[in-house]
Amino acid sequence: MPSHFDFFCHSPTVMFGAGRATQVAARLRELGRSRALVVTTDSGQRRYAPVIESLQDMAKASFAGAQPHCPIEVANAALDVFHQRACDAVITIGGGSTIGLGKYIAVETGAPHIALPTTLSGSEMTPLFGVLVDGEKRNRRESRALANTVIVDPMLAQSLPIRETATTGMNALAHCIEALYVPKSNPLTSQLALTGIDMLYRALKQLAIEPSSREARTQAAYGATIGGLMVNSVGIGMHHRICHILGGRFKLPHGESNCVVLPYVLAYNASAIAEACTTMESLMGTHPAVALHRLARELRVPTSLRELGVPADSIAVIAAESFHHIDHNPLPVDEAAVLKLLQAAWTGQEPSVM
């Protein structure tokens, strides 16, 4: 037993389980609200029509224009709809970008936010969000951005292409893995993080074979909820700093950049987190950096920055910008180390583990 540690956990109310999406209207009534703005993407508005229709006249307005990385123009357009229709709550149905838009509205208005995640980004569990301004993703952490209620219904994701589930699942794995070694990590979060890693890794392996598996989707959703809680409790590390730079500069989907970058950051840090790597290896059967690179291949998601269309001649600039944003790492890091890591990620070669 450790003699002392700090643990922070300020979580939304979580309603987890298949079929829970039908309880949105009841939750709104519990909160004393009746004029909700429903935020989705264009495809999400069609895909999740039964959920929206279940709100009946409590859905006073809709905004189906959520976009990746939440451009400020889109965020303000949604905010205008909220005010024009005199809404008193925001409901988001979708992935991290859609939920991030809901956070922006909640911060600007003080309205309660009910989030229904359909991907595995974990964004719904955190007060973190970002808006894209002049090509730069500006990340914010504000207490009012934390959702009031999160309804995790694994069946909402059944109609999603497996690629979206797979890429955001790799992001969720990154949340749990980083939680093992960021400065605020502690015995409680580490145990939860390992549970999340185990659940997500096994679920994604199964989804690579059987994308419609209800059991695997439920396990993945559970692991992703833990991943989001880890970001909220202990924060993020070098891996996510790099992915945010890639997303802002090239508008890459956050999950896809995670698929590529995660194995290389883990390989770089391996010598400084040997105990964590040994534990993960016991779950995955081989070194986790190698296992995750192979898992991405099994899931048929990107494994190189080249696949994502990142120009080779931009790697040095990305390395310099990323290094500027890295505030901690278990192994000392300099710009040259980040450059070498990104060069390997650009080629997509299997990570080399010392």
pLDDT tens figures, 226-258: 999 999 999 899 999 999 899 888 888 889 999
Report the alpha-carbon distance of residue 295 to residue 35 in Å, rounded. Answer: 44
Kind plus residue range of the DSSP H or E element containing 157: none
Residue ranges of the chain that CATH labels 1.20.1090.10: 161-347
Structure tokens at 74: 């889109």
Dihedral angle over CA of 348, 350, 351, 353, nearest 10: -170
pLDDT at 163: 93
pLDDT at 3: 67
Q: Write out the E strands in the chain.
A: 13-16, 36-39, 59-63, 89-94, 113-117, 128-133, 136-141, 149-152
pLDDT at 328: 92
Using DSSP's 3-state secondary structure scheme, residue 93 falls into strand
* CATH number 3.30.540.10 given to 13-157: no
163 burial (CB, 10 Å; 0-12 / 13-18 / 19+) is middle
Structure tokens at 258: 């995670």
pLDDT at 157: 86
Low-confidence ranges of the chain (pLDDT < 50): none
CATH topology of domain 161-347: Dehydroquinate synthase-like, alpha domain (1.20.1090)
Q: Which residues pair with 91 in a beta bridge?
A: 38, 114
Kind plus residue range of the DSSP H or E element containing 3: none
pLDDT at 1: 59
Residue ranges of the chain that CATH labels 3.40.50.1970: 13-157
CA distances in angstroms from 8 to 14, 125, 139, 189, 345, listed in the order given? 17, 13, 21, 9, 34
Residues 6+ apart with CB under 8 A from 133: 72
Cα three-residue angle 139-124-215, rounded to 5 degrees: 135
pLDDT at 130: 87
Residues 6+ apart with CB under 8 A from 206: 213, 215, 216, 219
Kind plus residue range of the DSSP H or E element containing 344: helix 335-347
pLDDT tens figures, 96-132: 999 999 999 999 999 999 999 999 999 999 998 989 8
